[in-house]
Amino acid sequence: MADIAATVELHGDHVNEFFGGSYLLQPLAEASGITIDKLNFLVCQIIALLLGFPFRTVIGPHKVSPTTRHIVQIVIGVPLAVFCFGSQIKHLLAQSMISYLMMKYVRPGLMEKAVLVYAMGYLCVCHIYRMYYDYGGYTLDITGPLMISTQRLTSLAYNIADGKAKERNPSVKLHQSFINCLCRQYRHC
In the chain, where are the structural domains located? Answer: 2-186
**For the whole prediction, is pTM greater than 0.85?**
no
Element (H, E) at 48: helix 36-57
Q: Is the pLDDT of residue 186 over 80?
A: no
Structural contact between residues 153 and 115, judged by C-beta atoms closer than 8 angstroms: yes
CA 158-159-161 angle, to 5 degrees, is 60
Structural contact between residues 12 and 5, judged by C-beta atoms closer than 8 angstroms: no
Write the pLDDT tens digit of every residue in 75-86.
Answer: 999 999 999 999
**Which pLDDT band, with edges at 50, 70 and 90, does 171 fall under?**
low
- Compute the distance between CA of residue 159 and CA of residue 145 in angstroms, rounded to an integer: 21
